[in-house]
Structure 1
Amino acid sequence: MTGFATGAFVDSLVWTAAVTVALMAVTFAFGIVAGRHNVVDTVWGLLFAGIGCTALVASRDHGDPGRRWVLAVLAGVWGVRLAVHIGRRSVGRGEDPRYEKLLRTGHADPLVNALVKVYAAQAALAFVIAAPLQVGAFVTGDLGYVAYVGVALWCVGMVFETVGDAQLERYRRRKKAQPPDTVTASVMDTGLWRFTRHPNYFGDACVWWGLFLVAAEHWPGILTVPAPILMTYLLTMGSGKRTLERSMVTRPGYPAYMRRTSGFLPLPPRKESAGADATRR
């Protein structure tokens, strides 16, 4: 690992871990006061913004300055936007059914149960997924074509996330404003949602593969590849797409939407044939 400040990098992990734990500790306290643990979803993006900024400061005498700043800024913009979006969306809502189901089993003390299964678990995940930010800040070598491709992929991801979230929010507001006796579509299937059932999740994956490419241009950034793989797995097979669709599939019109619309990658809608029952993954 020529040119990589291993000792300084290891020291920086202590600081990024401390920031992660501190943010989650504050969130846990706020969750107790609020009486709901889905507040952790709002802080999820801020964890990466905090880790990115901490890695930027900790690597100030090491690594390539351009890469350090690009990683910190991209992670910060993504994290803050996500936090604002989820925070605004959760105003006035109760506990997330996912957490209610998760916390039905486990430790007898409900607070200990929540601390371990919600806050500590997500803090650990964030610390691992943020590997490109932490390693990339100490990677030497100028920014090149691989990093530029990574930034472009990050931009694609941000467009899908931001536009997809905005389209869904407008749809929800229009539906809420209509009279109760008005027949409305029960599925959002226009805009980006016409080409993928989860433009926000697809955008999220693009963001993290983009950040990985920025870090992976020089050794040892390539070793952080498990981070975007893990994030993509969570989005498609973990708490993202799969969990959401278990509840959405009971909604009128959603099975048909699944049959004609790609589950993740943006693709042209499929024309439904009579009696079709296969869904697009």
Structure 2
Amino acid sequence: MPLLPRKRTTDTSALDIPNLRRVVAASAAVTAVAQAVTAAFAVRDTRRDYADAVWGPGLAGIAVASAVVGDGDRTRRWTLATITSVWAGRLANLMIPRIAGSEKEDPRYTEYLEGASTPTVLAKVFGTQALAQLVVSAPIQIAAASALPAGRRRWLFPLGAAVMVAGTVIEATADRQKDAYKKRDDPDKPAVLDTGLWGWSRHPNYFGDSLMWDGVWVAAATSTPGLATFPAPAAMSYFLIYATGATRTEKRMQERPAYRDYQRRVAFFFPRPPSDG
């Protein structure tokens, strides 16, 4: 008796490779233009810190380009583009006035690039940032070229979107609390901001930012290929904790006695209730 052919199973979340190539090409083009324009103004004005202003908008540009070019699930790719754009718009609204309101370059860039030639600046700042944007946005690009599966795992998409929103809200709330603290001019102003979200984490803004990109990965991981982009949120967390974020801030602040006491009481990054001492 001849054996019946085995029924083939179709992975409805399979990656459309030709479409992914188009998505990656569009993302690379958007990134190159954004970084090149910013670099031109940065070199002209000797303000390498202009790079901070294009970080969020560059990622939003990638998300929108991916949504436009991608053939994956329409709802998911435009949801990711929308939330990323809201996140980026808020960040740009914070960073651009801060940079424009200062006549001097951020000391971090001045120290890091002391004596550097223009080609070195372009490579170390804008080239590196362009590469980082493409790596961090990998889940968005993969999602744009993938369909959603039919099984239970499709619920990772709304879960990921919810995590993205939660991270954005946490980051925005932390920044508002910090701005309100800076504007205080009264005798009761504490030496260190240790209330609100800042009483649960010494860097709640960076934590919220990290959570936002964890959510992007969760939403992308609904499709099987998206699981492989785990290095993207891991890289973002590394940037925020070690490379350019929390650790650098700690080094600047730890000489202050009040901040050392704050370090003993409040968690470094991941929120938890404050301790008594």
Equivalent residue, structure 2, for 1:96: 106
Q: Offset of 1:90 from its aligned partner?
A: 2.5
Name the TM-score, length of structure 2 as normaliser. 0.90
Residue type at the aligned position of 1:127 = L
Q: Offset of 1:184 from its aligned partner?
A: 4.3
Q: Does 1:248 align with 2:253?
A: yes
Contact 1:186 1:251 in 2 (8 A): no
**In 1, Cα distance between equivalents of 2:79 and 2:189:** 44
Contact 2:83 2:165 in 1 (8 A): no
How many residues of Structure 1 are paired with residues of Structure 2 in the alignment? 262
Larger Rg: 2
Name the TM-score, length of structure 1 as normaliser. 0.88
Contact 2:80 2:161 in 1 (8 A): no
**In 1, Cα distance between equivalents of 2:53 and 2:191:** 26
Identify which of 34, 39, 54 aligns with 1:43: 54
**In 2, Cα distance between equivalents of 1:155 and 1:8:** 28
Equivalent residue, structure 1, for 2:190: 185
Encode CA deviations 1:186-211: one digit per residue, 9 max, x unaligned: 31111110110011111011100101
**In 2, Cα distance between equivalents of 1:66 and 1:118:** 34
**In 2, Cα distance between equivalents of 1:169 and 1:31:** 26
Encode CA deviations 1:72-127: one digit per residue, 9 max, x unaligned: 1111111111111111223322211111121126x5x2x22211111111111011
**In 1, Cα distance between equivalents of 2:180 and 2:53:** 20
Which range is displaced more, 70-79 or 136-145? 136-145
Q: Does 1:17 align with 2:28?
A: yes
> Residue 250 of structure 1 aligns to a residue in which SS?
coil
Kindly report the root-mean-square deviation, in angstroms, between the aligned alpha carbons of the 2 structures.
1.7
**Identical columns (%):** 37
Equivalent residue, structure 2, for 1:233: 238
Q: Offset of 1:29 from its aligned partner?
A: 1.4
**In 1, Cα distance between equivalents of 2:165 and 2:248:** 27
Equivalent residue, structure 1, for 2:96: 87
**In 2, Cα distance between equivalents of 1:47 and 1:128:** 12
Equivalent residue, structure 2, for 1:120: 127
**In 2, Cα distance between equivalents of 1:135 and 1:248:** 39
Identify which of 58, 75, 87 aligns with 2:69: 58
For structure 1, the residue ranges without an aligned partner over 5 or more in a row are 273-281
Q: Offset of 1:69 from its aligned partner?
A: 0.9
Q: Does 1:5 align with 2:16?
A: yes
**Structure-2 change in CA distance of 1:50 and 1:252 (3 Å):** same
Contact 1:136 1:215 in 2 (8 A): yes
Encode CA deviations 1:151-207: one digit per residue, 9 max, x unaligned: 2211221121011000101111114xx5xxx58433111111011001111101110
Contact 1:71 1:137 in 2 (8 A): no
Equivalent residue, structure 2, for 1:222: 227
Which range is displaced more, 84-93 or 185-194? 84-93
Q: Offset of 1:218 from its aligned partner?
A: 1.3
Equivalent residue, structure 2, for 1:277: none
For structure 2, the residue ranges without an aligned partner over 5 or more in a row are 1-10
**In 2, Cα distance between equivalents of 1:32 and 1:235:** 26
Contact 1:209 1:228 in 2 (8 A): yes
Equivalent residue, structure 2, for 1:276: none
Residue type at the aligned position of 1:118 = V
Q: Offset of 1:228 from its aligned partner?
A: 0.3
> Residue 91 of structure 2 aligns to a residue in which SS?
helix
Contact 1:31 1:38 in 2 (8 A): yes
